[in-house]
A = this chain, B = another copy of it.
Amino acid sequence: MLEAFFRPSSVAVIGASRDPEKLGYAVLANLKEGGFKGALYPINPKADEILGLKAYPSILDVPGPVDLAVIVIPYPFVPAVLEQCGQKGVPAVVVISAGFREAGREGLEREQELIEIAHRYNIRLVGPNCLGVIDTATPLNATFAAGMPPAGPMAFMSQSGALGTAVLDLALAGRIGFSRFVSLGNKADVDEIDLLEAWEDDPDSRVILIYVEGLKDGQRFMEVARRVTRKKPVVAVKSGVTRAGSRAVSSHTGSLAGSEAAYQAAFRQAGVIRAQSMERLFDYARAFAYQPLPAGDRVAIVTNAGGPGILATDALEHAGLRLARLKPETIEALMADLPSAASAANPVDVLGDALADRYEHALRLVLADPGVDAVIVIVTPQAMTQIEETAHIVGRTARETDKPILGCFMGEARINAGVEVLRQYGVPNYPFPERAAEALAAMVAYREERERPIYPPERYEVDRDAVRKVLDKARSEGRVSIGDAEARAILEAYGFPVPPSRLAATPEEAIEAAEEMGYPVVLKVASPDILHKTDVGGVKLNLRSAEDVRDAFDLIVYRATRYVPDARIWGCLVQKMVSGGREVLIGMSRDPQFGPLVAFGLGGIYVEALKDVVFRVAPFSRQEAEEMIREIRAYPLLEGVRGEPPADHEAMVDALCRISQLVTDFPEIVELDINPLMVFDEGRGAMALDMRLVLG
């Protein structure tokens, strides 16, 4: 799939030029100088020959088949030329030309024309408005970037071509190497999902890197990413995360920016590692590309300097890793050979006068310790330090172990020679310990994520028809909101315990209902037109007598008609008063990219004032529901403080999974709140006290 983009036998450059100032020249030159070994066809009606290659007036004039066409001509002519590609039977086309969706409405129409042509001829299309495509193994450089990056195990895709030029410039300096590089441009056809699938089994790509501003089909991205991340790490930078940034996205490529919470949840659920900056993206990528995954989170530090050892220790803890506790045998063996002033406990301080052999000794002992999962080697350039020799030692040792080793050779003028040696051995170096620790933490997180079994979402026996009926009724009456009085049927149909309740049209009916279920009770206004009942004084709690109920009924109805004069008032819902639990909120809203985004938090002030809430994209598994509950800051309150018993964990998990199923079964539900779900002490379940939902 998409192999024609990366392994073509023949490439045509439509718009190839003899003018070195033109992009059409740069693309052809890159293909030629990049060492492409297949047939290369410059297409230019005004030239016979370009860069020593025979040129053709149009792609239709090329004698043999063409696997890949690169279009780099002014936008007005692109559709006609794409049509010719179709006629020629070209399976893969890169449109570098700009002037499409990013250029306003007319451009959008032009882009739709491209899509239509591509569909008609079964052409896969990268771009338009992009930098091109690179494969270093083929080798193929079908971009107008300045030169071919070194080969390496990273596959990179970027929604921003300009960012791509910066990344390639980093690569040209020898910092990083790529297997494949794609500038996606406007993503008229080929997008992140296609490339994930294309690179899933590519043996040259050990890690997939993504710079993305917005996704079109979030649910499908999750599905594919969830599968691919089981095979190789996928690291992504998602920009436009803040409100200000999102504005910049939509003025930039016009792509829809999903909400930050949705991306956060979706990436996590799909196993995609989110890097907080491009610098971290490559920090993580170098670790993944060149070092084995650690078996656990216990890290040893070998250093010739106490200060950096402390910085590294701080950084490990900050990154959520553990300082390995060395076995007594390891410590003894270290002490036997190290000078007496050295520290044999982790961090292992081999002292400032350590030569390469002392590093080797310490490194081997530490790696042999079964309590060590990974090692960071810190080298400061002190008077006697053998920088290059030490780098060779580290590199050779790294080749002989299956534990990851990251370098932290600190400095530049003298240190760089060592960093260069490390690179030859595939040991990534980080100039400061914090960055090494963060890269290791990404590896540990990925390893854990990959080994976690994937559970299917829970499926409960439910009564879908009952829900369908409530929704249809509301819709037939032209209503999009469903309040408490009707929502009860939905909750019951999906297996939620609800308190006894009855709709009462008159005070007398309300008293009768209350006496039947027993005091105390709650009265709530029942009206399809009033969704926020408390705002109109439509709720009365803790009513303890017939008199209380009568007073409350009259008051509620009076207030409701006064505040919302046109409201249809069905009467009041009488509900058994429930107390003695902890209140949580379960909500759902639909994200334009990812669909149903389910929220969980403690009720009341915790969600409203303290914004303590977590999200997952539905459907999700029990395990993911459990994670949600544990992730809120106020989780200790659910575990129980001051001797309280814990809240019923299973009941919360169950409620989240049932909501996940409900919102998956009924895509027309666009918003939903259970607030509160009253959760009782462990083993005593939970009860949904109030629900409202909105239909699309």
Contact = CB atoms under 8 A, between A and B. Distances in A.
Contact of A241 (B239, B314, B415): B314
Interface residues of A, number: 92
Interface string A295-331: 0000000001111111101111110000100000000
A248 interface: yes
B637 A163 contact: no
Nearest to A347: B248
Contacts of A435: 279
Nearest to A352: B162
Nearest to A239: B310
A248 B309 contact: yes
Interface in A335-371: 341, 343, 345, 347, 349, 352
A414 interface: yes
Given A159-B307, A252-B306, A316 B432 contact: no
B608 A634 contact: no
A163 B610 contact: no
Nearest to A253: B306
Contacts of A36: none
Contacts of A211: 307
A249 interface: yes
Interface stretch (A165-173, A191-199, A226-234, A497-505): A165-173
Contact of A308 (B163, B308, B318): B163
A212 to B, nearest CB: 10
B432 A383 contact: no
Given A162-B382, A244-B317, A637-B605, A410 B311 contact: no
A144 interface: yes
Given A306-B253, A317-B245, A166 B410 contact: yes
Nearest to A107: B341
Contact of A380 (B163, B307, B414): B163
Given A251-B345, A279-B435, A381 B166 contact: yes
B162 A245 contact: no
A165 B381 contact: yes
A561 interface: no
Interface string A244-265: 1101110111000000000000
Nearest to A23: B383
A34 interface: no
A202 interface: no
A476 interface: no
Residue from A243, A248, A416, A609 having most chain B Cβ neighbours under 10 A: A248
A642 B608 contact: yes
Interface string A170-211: 101101000000000000000000000000000000000001
A347 B163 CA distance: 15
Nearest to A341: B103
A683 interface: no
Nearest to A170: B412
Contacts of A317: 242-245
A622 interface: no
Contacts of A306: 160, 162, 248, 252-253
Nearest to A340: B103
Given A277-B432, A304-B162, A173 B380 contact: no
A682 B278 CA distance: 48
A21 B383 CA distance: 9
Nearest to A240: B310
A238 to B, nearest CB: 9
A413 interface: yes
Contacts of A76: none
B239 A411 contact: no
Given A239-B311, A248-B347, A305-B162, A146 B414 contact: yes
A240 B610 contact: no
Nearest to A345: B251
Given A160-B305, A163-B307, A412 B173 contact: yes
Given A166-B415, A608-B642, 8 more contacts: A26-B383, A162-B382, A163-B410, A170-B413, A241-B314, A245-B317, A252-B343, A279-B431
Q: Which 8 A-B pairs have the closest CB atoms?
A: A160-B307, A162-B305, A169-B411, A173-B412, A172-B413, A166-B410, A609-B636, A245-B314
6 contacts: A26-B383, A169-B411, A172-B413, A248-B309, A252-B349, A605-B641
